[in-house]
Amino acid sequence: MSPWLAGLVVLVALAIGAPVSAAVPQVAAYYDGGMPVADIPAADLNAIIYSLGELTSGNVCDPPGAAQLQDLRALRGLRRLHPGLQLLVSIGGWDTAPQYSDIALTAASRAKFARSCVRLFIRQQRVNGIDLDWEFPVRGGLIPSRPQDRADATALVRELREQLDALGRRTHQHYLLTVATPAGTWQEGGAYSVDDSYDLAALVPYVSWLNVMTYDMNTIFSPYSGFNTPMEPDFRDPTPEPQRARDNLTGAVRYYEAHGVPADKIMLGMAFYGRGFTGVSARYEGRYSRFTGIMAETPWKTIESRMLTDPHWVRYWSATAEAPWLYDARRHAFFTYDDPQSLALKGAFVRRAHLRGAMIWVLGEDDARNSLLHGLLSGLRPRAFR
């Protein structure tokens, strides 16, 4: 299929809300204002998800502030320059999320919330869809939760879908609805399962796709240092089962598909940042070790310009994770990240697995040459990218 014809297929499929052919995997990228809108490589993207963070008071969507309005205006301008580019707004986040447990609790509260979001963002700001980022129903996150959140989350997604469809019938448009869902099995409170929070199969009829957060597989909540986005499990990793089998991209996709999510509803998350662990053992060059502290999330552009030029950080490559890591023997520090090579392999995996595509967190953390994006695309769309 020629790049021109592939692009036409994408435009038609997105316009009618149909599944996109695995021959033309998609790229959806979160944008949080970390770079000028004019610098966004929109020609290489199918969807931009504007991550507004906390947007609610009184359990409804608040109007965007002045800075957000400016961003949305610029993003609409970018969309005009790139026909077929979809623009969504994301409501929620890790520590800035609305009180979703209260929002989703009753039919009246769900309808009120959905009505406000549709009015403010779909109708007034003319975006193409909404991304729901609830981290997490029932357990695993920092915001208050209830045992009934799992069923209520499905009900909230259904209410949003129904209101979007009702508006779409009047405007003769199809509006997107996506949900950011976890993959890592270590969250606040210890060992965790996605099934604790979400009935994945029940979400499928209502969502355009799921933005599966296949990063943060090893964090401060993990018992050992490990890779942020490993491709496969490693027998040397002492993490107990089933966590070890699931905390990798291959295991996450198998888990989602086994729980009723078809491949064409999975956008596989790609991290444009890295993270580190301190106080690690020299065994395995810092991998799979108890640790005493963590390093802040670090964007790729900083990793490339500062860490890879520091002779104390020695680069290694993992054949199982299919990703690099850095070890500093002087600091007893292990650092895990993705580079163009590992993202090309992840892109190829998305294509082989016939997934809908790849999701990026977050625009603005790549270097000025868009090296990570180009690496991802070289694996994701090898013919079109040549």
What pLDDT tens digit does each residue of the chain (386 aa) get?
Answer: 343 344 444 444 444 444 444 468 999 999 999 999 999 999 999 999 999 866 667 889 989 999 999 999 999 999 999 999 999 999 998 887 778 999 999 999 999 999 999 999 999 999 999 999 999 999 999 999 999 999 999 999 999 999 999 999 999 999 999 999 999 999 999 999 999 999 999 999 999 999 999 999 999 999 999 999 999 999 999 999 999 999 999 999 999 999 999 999 999 999 999 999 999 999 999 999 999 999 999 999 999 999 999 999 999 999 999 999 999 999 999 999 999 999 999 999 999 999 999 999 999 999 999 999 999 999 999 877 65
Identify the CA nearest to 135 among candidates 95, 84, 81: 95
Fold classification of 3-271+339-385 (topology level): TIM Barrel (3.20.20)
Coil, strand or helix: which one is 114? Answer: helix
| DSSP class of 265 | G
Q: Is 285 left (phi over 0), alpha (psi -120 to 50) or beta?
A: left
Rounded distance between C-alpha atoms, residue 193 and residue 103, angstroms: 23
Rounded distance between C-alpha atoms, residue 231 and residue 254, angstroms: 12
Tokens of 238: 């002492």
Predicted model pTM: 0.94
